[in-house]
Chains A and B, each alone.
Chain A
Amino acid sequence: MNGSGARLDAVLAELVPALGGRAVLTDPSALRAYDCDGLTTHRSTPAAVVLADDADAVASAVRACARHQVPFVARGSGTGLSGGATPRADGVLIVTTKLRRILAIDPDNQRAVVEPGVINLDVTVAATPHGLYFAPDPSSQSVCSIGGNVAENAGGAHCLKYGFTTNHVTGLDVVVADGSTQQLGGTAVEYPGYDLVGTFVGSEGTLGVATRATLRLLTRPEAVRTLLAAFSSIDDAGAAVSSIIAEGLLPAAIEMMDATAIAAVEQAVATRYPEGAAAVLIVELDGPAVEVDQDTAAVERLCREAGSTSLHVAQTDQERQLIWKGRKAAFAAVGRVSPDYYVQDGVIPRTSLPEVLSRIEELGHRYGLRVANVFHAGDGNLHPLVLFDDAVDGQAERAEELAGEILALCVAAGGSITGEHGVGLDKKKYMPLMFTEDDLDTMHRVRCAFDPSGVANPGKLFPTPRLCGERPGPRRGVHPLTEAGAGDVF
């Protein structure tokens, strides 16, 4: 009865009667549709899929998995780019896409209460009649779900000014790994006790499954201006970014694309980005009209001073949409010009942008691979796309190796291995570049508090498998105070 097959059978024997056969998939052909998330290079067919109808179904599934020690992985829309929702062949995939009710839009408190399967953009659509919107806007916002945003602490182009998912979640209902549901936070901005909402956001499904989220909504800014500037070198574009920040301006977004990315985008969506540019910057300013006009003029001046070869401020909403369409379609567009590509998500301090970009170019030459750069320049979040052809022997490995070197560059510059995609499966082996064994052990203690038996999305985030339990330390066993009867050390 100890084999993983027998344990899985025990889980199914509980779940099929409880949730109904149609909510529990075990047919191999049906399961294959769930074998990967947005990181398609990692695939694994789950042993079973639970299509949860409501929070209770999620809790039942988690409880059954916990009872029989079967690993589970939660999945929303499956758009993640780090393999956070890659299933386990010996585990259950809990799919939350059917939990898609927007339970409340509260314009007075500027909150939305939603289920995890709700699509990111749909929150904004529902809030729009009240002049409100949900700020986090990952490129996949028309398909990605709030549950995934919460798990990965999703960012987007506008987090330069408005922050990430974690800055926009005030409450969560969470099914933790023992199957119990915990209400954390709420409508107010803080509650007494540890900030478990903040701890849960970005935990990549390793602490439990969110079944309800209270989100902050922001007031639509009075004015928005979007500017497209072309440069004859990446360095010039980088210098423009630095001078915008040095001027004390805080645009809503500063995005950059290099020539390879521009060419791919142009071919795919005909955005009319300036021809022959080595780099384009998209700068968006929003806020009260007076300041936005003033700041737009300042950005135009700074771009010119940095050597911009062409400058255009979108005059209509359509023009603005078109500029953004190119940026948001960049990954897919690169997918059309190269048989395969590998996206990275490194972050560097903004001031090291020119140096790191030229090092990336050198690396590309050394590996004989093209690298397209599409990134959030304002906050130093790079998305180098390493282009390769999987049909050519060894190229995939070389691409991954190159991507790894890029991440090492980012960390050496004082940055991070991931700005918004998450660690997942993809980057867990790079965690030791950033963190010592003690740092990782400290993080792991959080996991042990939420999931002592390690059934929630195991094998992700941490570079090596870890168990919760006894560990060496200066003190073990009964606290001397308790021993002396001096106090109850819970």
Chain B
Amino acid sequence: MSSDRDTLLRGRVADICGLDNIRDGADGDAVGGLVPPVVASPGSPREVSEVVRAVAAAGRCLTVTGNRTALAMGPPPRRLDVLLSTRRLNRVVEHSPGDLQVTAEAGLSLAELQRHLAGHGQRLALDVAGERTVGGIIAANASGPLRHRYGSVRDLLIGVQLVRADGTPARAGGKVVKNVAGYDLCKLMTGSYGTLAVIVAATFRLHARARASQWTRHEIDGPAGVRAVVSAYARARVEPSAIELDYDLRTGTGVVETLMEGSPPGVAARCARVGDVLDGVAVPHPVAATEGTADDLVLKVVVAPAAVADTLERFHAIPPVAEGGAHVSGRAGVGVLRLTVAAPPPGSVPALVTAVRAVAGELDGSAVVTRAPRATSADLDVWGPVRGLDLMRRVKEQFDPGGVLSPGRFVGGI
């Protein structure tokens, strides 16, 4: 490979972004062990477009990142020349409180956006933990407890501005919630992990902040406990905003914590109604998710909404999961879970993943490895089986025929 070409590309990217906004990659910038020669931080959508165009024209590859929280996810790219950081794209572009919509640049952190919106009594109904950027949340389809009531990114994103793999800027959707003009590329971008286009800005529908809210903690013993809590809430028709599980597979105990939101008397009345049929205590906030260590195996396990208790039962029946110190947390009412197995022997990881995947498959779901222990073999199948993979390859071929954007990081080697 000609290093002249790389030198020229670096010079070009420096011209576009300014010398202060490009630097050599370091170990901390590695994507799946691959250290990028260049880290570039363009400061405007136009600069993003020019950087992508330059990288594509040089026949090189780039990976996009926001706050790097999802970079450990997925296999390493087949090639990495430029790590494109969106952190300088951090403006609230437009907020129209009366229309309950906001447009933000991709590198803005969700926390900053929420602070801005809170000043107007509004919020984006996405409560993803950690310092995540707007663009990163869309690309990784990240969600939090509020998913129970408000859905995920796909239900809140109404417009997107992107830069295609050849550098062409394009938009889809718009600024109004109700809009069926053209294909819904917002959905296509959601969860695409930066493999189809670079997201530079996004428009979301907003909700009013709740006037009152209350978390309630219910202790549970065994998988049946989850079932009991979830169905009690459903029967009471009290419309909780969140139902969160935190369960220790070794002890078979845990908690289900729920969030009730609304008017002060409404929240009180609904909590009281649940209190009549279920023991629980009011808590200021839910238990913090266990962060774990770099030696843990972490999977995102998504199953049919009512299959959470079944999932736990089946995990109990996998000895290396149940006995090795494992933990399940997540959305008990919609079936989006996180399984953390504490520091399994690296050699056992593929078999563990296969066993977990079999459970998810039986419950019409999936299991994706979001973090593998450091010493795990590079051949680990991170994504597992994928429905519609052939069509997905065709979509990738149309959007990024040259394989510029994170080649090899996504499902089926996309």
Counting residue pairs across A and B whose Cβ atoms lie within 8 Å, the total is 306
Contact of B176 among A182, A347, A446, A461 (CB under 8 A): A347
Note all chain B residues with C-beta closer than 8 A to A195. Answer: 141, 154, 187-188, 190-191
Note all chain A residues with C-beta closer than 8 A to B270. Answer: 288, 290
Knowing A166-B184, A475-B59, say if A193 contacts B176 (CB, 8 Å).
no
B contacts with A, residue count (CB < 8 A): 103
Residues of B participating in the A interface, judged by any CB pair closer than 8 Å: 1, 53, 56-57, 59, 61, 78-79, 96-101, 121, 141, 147, 151-152, 154-155, 162, 164, 166-172, 174-188, 190-192, 196-197, 207-209, 211, 234, 237-239, 262-263, 265-266, 269-270, 302-307, 334-336, 364-366, 368, 383-384, 386-399, 401-403, 407-408, 410-414
Closest beta carbon of chain A to B121's beta carbon, Å: 7
Roughly how many angstroms separate A220 CA and B177 CA in the complex, as a whole number?
A: 24
Q: Is the CB of A357 closer than 8 A to any CB of chain B?
A: no
Closest to B121 in A: A248
Note all chain B residues with C-beta closer than 8 A to A186. Answer: 304, 364-365, 387
Note all chain B residues with C-beta closer than 8 A to A295. Answer: 263
A479 with B402: CB separation less than 8 A: yes
Residues of A participating in the B interface, judged by any CB pair closer than 8 Å: 108-111, 152-153, 155, 159, 163-164, 166-167, 176, 182-199, 201-203, 219-222, 242, 245-246, 248-250, 287-288, 290-291, 294-295, 347-351, 376, 379-381, 414-423, 427, 431, 434-436, 438-443, 445-450, 461, 473-475, 479-481, 484, 486-490
Note all chain B residues with C-beta closer than 8 A to A246. Answer: 97-98
A-B CB contact pairs (8 Å), 10 listed: A193-B392, A202-B184, A294-B263, A349-B175, A351-B99, A414-B176, A416-B178, A474-B57, A486-B78, A490-B393
A347 with B178: CB separation less than 8 A: yes
Contact of A194 among B97, B155, B188, B307 (CB under 8 A): B188
Closest beta carbon of chain A to B404's beta carbon, Å: 8
A450 with B403: CB separation less than 8 A: no
Note all chain B residues with C-beta closer than 8 A to A490. Answer: 393, 396-397, 403, 413-414
A194 with B152: CB separation less than 8 A: no
What 8 A-B pairs come out closest when comparing CB atoms?
Answer: A198-B187, A248-B208, A480-B59, A489-B403, A108-B306, A445-B398, A291-B266, A419-B178
Knowing A191-B387, A414-B176, A439-B171, say if A489 contacts B407 (CB, 8 Å).
yes
A189 with B262: CB separation less than 8 A: no
Knowing A109-B306, A190-B152, A379-B176, say if A199 contacts B265 (CB, 8 Å).
no
Contact of A183 among B178, B334, B388 (CB under 8 A): B388
Roughly how many angstroms separate A418 CA and B179 CA in the complex, as a whole number?
A: 6
Note all chain A residues with C-beta closer than 8 A to B182. Answer: 423, 431, 434-435, 439-440, 443, 461
Note all chain B residues with C-beta closer than 8 A to A196. Answer: 188, 388, 391-392, 395
B178 with A423: CB separation less than 8 A: no
Note all chain B residues with C-beta closer than 8 A to A189. Answer: 147, 152, 302, 305, 334-336
Note all chain B residues with C-beta closer than 8 A to A182. Answer: 387-388, 390-391
Roughly how many angstroms separate A297 CA and B386 CA in the complex, as a whole number?
A: 50
Contact of A188 among B190, B366, B412 (CB under 8 A): B366
